[in-house]
Chain A
Amino acid sequence: MAELESDPAAEFVIYTRLDPTGDPIITLSGELDIAGASSLEKTVAAITAERPVRLIFDLSELRFMDSAGIAVLVSATKNVDAVTLRNPTVIVRRVLELTGLSEVLPIES
């Protein structure tokens, strides 16, 4: 097996909490790729099962996201009326822009 990321900051971490308004916030940090996508998918499924009106992804600590990660964010839009991305880093922001997802996944700074 290929060695996993040796950079601890690269470790993908999911942290879930509630916004003061009661909306769930999923904070992602590290690098989101195919390896982290499945666990994020489970987290999103558990939260969207509660039928929240709004779901916020805090991406301020996310340093990388590939198409597998984007797909999870996109799939969340099918179960929640409003999915918002909060403070994406420029790296992630550019990925979103270049993949034409800015409208589907509105960014709030």
Chain B
Amino acid sequence: MAALLIGLVVTAALVLTSLAVYNRNERRLLKLRVRELSLVLAATVPSIQTPLASAAELADATGGSAQKFRAFMSPYVGAGRQFSSVSLWPLGTSHLTPSAVLGGTPALESMPERAKQFFTHSTRSGVLNLTSFLNSPHPALGFDFSAPGHAHGFAVYAENPLPANRRSKLEKNSAFSDLNYALYLGHSRRSSDILVTSVKDLPIKGRQASDVVPFGSGVFTVVVSPNGSLGGTFFKDLPWIIAVAGLLVTLAAALMTDRLAQGRQRAEDLAGILDRVAAENRDMYTEQRGISQTLQHALLPDTLPSVDGLAVNARYIPAASGVDVGGDWYDILDAGEGRVLLLVGDVSGHGLSAATTMASLRHAALAYAALGSPPARVLATLSNFVNSKPHTYMATVLCALIDVEAHQMTVASAGHLPPLLIDGEGGQFVELDVGPAVGVSNDARYQERTISVAPNATLIAFTDGLVERRGEVLDIGLARLRAAAIGPRLSLEDLVGKLARELTSEDHQDDTAILGVQWLS
């Protein structure tokens, strides 16, 4: 709708502008044309004056010889020639009458008073004198020329009739055929002074231009108006062309706008569909997350073995966001002879593939541990297992074999963070010779270390989610864990719960596993 209005306004403005330009151009052209016409009219003076002046000279030189006058002027007189009537008038006599007449009888001859007035007042200064018989039944224009300086010489007088109704159309191929004109005698534009015109009704109406044409001793006034478009029909039609084209463009724009609006509607519909899909995705996401966590829990031991003299506790805290199941795992198994094997691992990456990897690693590790292998051997075998197939992941694994009775533990690490050992004197991280994460190098060797632990000591193994924070050196996270873990002695279950609560924020981004054992004596 807006496009339609704007289009109409713009079109109207263009039409008005082109009309204004056209009108200004037409006025300018009309002024030029009237000027041209007046120049052409003025240029006819010599063609009238020259034969008359020559005849006057001849008459003066021949003493008014009628014969010589006739011989000289006869080529100029008659139908289709310059003059319809030419006469020779001796001046200086009381009764003015022509001494010789060629062509029709001049109207002036029948009007002695008029003739006397005319010749008396005619200048003798070498210009063409004009007189007119506009109200007579045979309207005519008279021209008189007398040789300068001869008060008693001869005047040559010519008369041309005007058309009875003063109408004279310009010829079609005339240079001025595109004009209507009216030629008046003198400065007036009264219809009584009209000499000749191309129009039926005077005065000329509409756009017009006029000029005053000097003609001998007098003047003509010429008024013209365009008979059509002076600048050509294209420019006359231009405003209409613009109007029509503008309307078409406006309509097209309006239609286009409508189509764009429809397009936008479709885009909005599409966006709505996408929103619904996104919402469905979110639902599936949540569902997927539920599935992942179920899977993760399914992959983790649901019950931990009960071992005499040792409390065992574990906690798995999934990341706060994201559907991905993590690759964290832990295991604890009875190794016989009063020993338990602890495993904590973290497969790089997330998602089902990480979880699947974690599952296969976990089961492989359990198998090697079941063979009675010491921790370093378990890790090396596990590393070989991972490297035996093409893979794009690695896993950090901590393995600890605990002899409950002997208060000893043997620990090895494949790129995994050290466990925290808490006893009555405080807590420290077990110093380990850390080997590469499994899956990194083909022939990884791991060093294990055997440590004696104090009675009632607590060992906390964990994955990096518990201590790792962005923009922070790992040591700070480790110190935070240590600070949270020491202090008044808590039961293992309370301690693990406290660590899980205090060290994982609501928006923690990584899965976290905590596995703890506590000597009960």
Contacts and interface: CB of A to CB of B under 8 A. Distances in A.
B133 interface: no
Nearest to B435: A100
Interface residues of B, number: 36
Interface in B428-484: 434-437, 439-441, 464, 468, 470-475
Interface stretch (B196-204, B362-370, B412-420, B496-504): B412-420
A33 B322 CA distance: 13
B437 A99 contact: yes
Interface in A11-57: 31, 33-34, 37, 41
A37 B436 CA distance: 20
Given A31-B470, A33-B509, A91-B471, A99 B396 contact: yes
Interface residues of A, number: 29
A104 B418 CA distance: 19
Residue of B349, B350, B413, B418 with most chain A CB atoms under a 10 A cut-off: B349
A91 B473 contact: yes
A10 B436 CA distance: 28
Interface string B390-405: 0011101000000000
Given A95-B474, A98-B434, A100-B434, A67 B396 contact: yes
Contact of A34 (B324, B414, B416, B435): B324
Contact of A70 (B392, B394, B413, B418): B394
Contacts of A77: 440-441
A101 to B, nearest CB: 6
> Chain B interface secondary structure, helix, strand, loop or mixed?
loop
Contacts of B320: 2
A2 B322 contact: yes
Contacts, number: 85
Interface in B408-427: 413-418
Interface string B326-350: 0000000000000000000010111
Contact of B464 (A10, A41, A67): A67
B474 A91 contact: yes
A96 B440 CA distance: 13
Contacts of B437: 67, 70, 74, 99-101
B510 interface: yes
A2 B470 contact: no
Interface string B293-334: 000000000000000000000000000111010000000000
A1 B286 CA distance: 10
B507 A94 contact: no
A31 B471 CA distance: 8
Nearest to B351: A34
Given A10-B470, A91-B471, A2 B464 contact: no
B385 to A, nearest CB: 17
Interface of A: 1-2, 10, 31, 33-34, 37, 41, 63-64, 66-68, 70-71, 74-75, 77, 90-91, 94-95, 97-101, 103-104
List 3 tightest A-B contacts by C-beta distance, closest first: A71-B348, A100-B434, A2-B321
Given A74-B440, A75-B394, 9 more contacts: A70-B437, A71-B348, A91-B474, A94-B474, A97-B434, A98-B434, A99-B415, A99-B416, A101-B436
